[in-house]
């Protein structure tokens, strides 16, 4: 069968990207043209290869994946379909991702057949809405996307220095955002922020 859907895989872990790519390349109508694990390489290969569908985890090296999605959409509009494939559970993040223009959001714990179906459906221009959980009401917390990312990292027991390194910002900026998170959620500690985040549907542990 003719391979007519060109795929690119972006994942922070080369082994994961390789495994996903190897599996999808066995599907008759798929052709995996590149596997990368950081934003800079991704932009270069996207310009060179022009994939039909991009499957990515939004947490990548050398930058934020959500900013990469924005850049791709600004440059290529709807010619490149984007599927988020991640283990990150966050209602607000999903909402923002769809607002930017992704075609599907799939959790890594789900059956891989969902990825195959999402590739085919997004290639046709269809948008697959998630059914894992309801979209949270952003008015209930008013956290920014950066604050949501930091709260997620706090829930993974990352310290301020580790968070700063992962998000490519200063430790001082992390401290500022954490103070803002506490104020917006009405809490006074990391544990309190995590509990409130779960209560409001921002975090799923």
Going from N- to C-terminal start, the domains of the chain cover: 5-123, 138-199
In the prediction, which pLDDT does 132 show? 54
The CATH number of domain 138-199, selected from 3.30.565.10, 1.10.10.10, 3.30.360.10, 3.30.70.20: 1.10.10.10
Q: How many helices (H) and strands (E) does the chain have?
A: 9, 7
pLDDT (tens digit, 9 = 90+) per residue, 107-148?
Answer: 998 899 999 999 999 998 888 877 654 444 555 568 887 888
Give the global pTM. Answer: 0.68
How do residues 27-38 score in pLDDT, each as one tens digit? 999 999 999 988
How many whole angstroms separate alpha carbon 182 and alpha carbon 192? 8
Give pLDDT, residue 60.
74
Q: Quick one: which H or E segment has residue 81?
A: strand 81-86
For the chain, 205 residues long, the average pLDDT of each consecutive 10-residue run is: 81 91 93 90 90 91 78 89 88 79 90 93 85 52 82 89 89 91 89 86 66
Strands 63-64 and 59-60: antiparallel
Whether the CB-CB separation of 103 and 83 falls below 8 Å is answered with yes
State residue 51's pLDDT score: 96
Structure confidence at residue 7 (pLDDT): 97
pLDDT at 45: 92
Distances, alpha carbon 198 to alpha carbons 45, 149, 151, 195, 203, in Å: 37, 14, 10, 5, 5
- Do residues 169 and 147 touch, judged by C-beta distance below 8 A? no
Residues 15, 2: Cα–Cα separation, whole Å: 27
- Per-residue exposure over 7-46, b if at least 16 CB sit within 10 Å of its own CB, e if not: bbbbbbeeebbeebbeebeebeebbbbbbbbebebbbebb
| Domain 5-123 CATH (choose: 3.30.360.10, 3.40.50.10490, 3.40.50.2300, 3.30.70.2740) | 3.40.50.2300
């Amino acid at each position: 069968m003719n391979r007519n859907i060109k795929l690119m895989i972006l994942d922070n872990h080369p082994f994961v990207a390789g495994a996903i790519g190897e599996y999808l390349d066995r599907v008759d109508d798929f052709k995996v043209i590149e596997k990368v694990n950081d934003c800079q390489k991704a932009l270069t290969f996207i310009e060179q290869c022009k994939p039909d569908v991009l499957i990515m985890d939004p947490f990548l090296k050398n930058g934020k994946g959500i900013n990469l999605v924005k850049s791709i959409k600004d440059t290529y509009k709807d010619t490149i379909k984007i599927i988020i494939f991640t283990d990150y559970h966050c209602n607000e993040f999903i909402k923002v991702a769809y607002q930017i223009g992704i075609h599907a959001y799939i959790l890594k714990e789900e059956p891989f057949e969902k990825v195959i179906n999402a590739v085919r459906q997004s290639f046709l221009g269809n948008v697959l809405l998630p059914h894992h959980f309801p979209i949270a009401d952003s008015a209930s917390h008013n956290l920014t996307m950066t604050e949501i990312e930091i709260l997620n990292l706090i829930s993974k027991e990352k310290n301020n220095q580790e968070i700063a390194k992962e998000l490519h910002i200063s430790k001082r900026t992390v401290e500022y955002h954490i103070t803002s998170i506490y104020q917006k959620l009405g809490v006074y500690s990391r544990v309190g922020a995590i509990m409130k985040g779960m209560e409001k549907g921002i975090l799923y542990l």
